[in-house]
Amino acid sequence: MARINFKELPVYTGISRKKTVTGDARESFADLLYTRMNGIRAKNLALKIFNSEGDMYLDAEDEKLVRFAAVNLCVPSVGDAIIDMFDAGKKEIKEE
């Protein structure tokens, strides 16, 4: 299980990754899944992200879909932010 918050996504402002700008990526990432990915899973996940209100938990299949979209369809700064948020969430879940 993976945790992510598209409502408060910290996106890197440069390659040094020293600074971030936090923004609401729910609608834009949901649109990306809805318009660029195939299948009912992508549509359902897009709706789940669009309607989320903060931290959300994804099963392994949804996490794979988000990771694929982040790496292949997003600009690198956004893709890195999503992957890093997943990885940070997994560390926190293990520590609890």
User: What residues are paired with 3 via a beta bridge?
Assistant: 57
Q: Please answer whether residues 81 and 4 qualify as being in contact, where contact means their C-beta atoms are separated by less than 8 angstroms.
A: no
pTM score: 0.89
Please give the pLDDT value at position 89. 72
**Structural domain spans, the chain:** 2-95
| CA count, 13 A, side-chain hemisphere, 38 | 0
Tokens 């890093």 -> residue: 84
Angle between helices 40-50 and 26-36 (to 10 degrees): 170
| Distance in angstroms (rounded) separating the CA atoms of residues 30 and 46 | 4
Q: Per-residue confidence of the chain (96 residues) as pLDDT tens digits?
A: 899 999 999 999 999 999 999 999 999 999 999 999 999 999 999 999 999 999 999 999 999 999 999 999 999 999 999 999 998 876 665 555
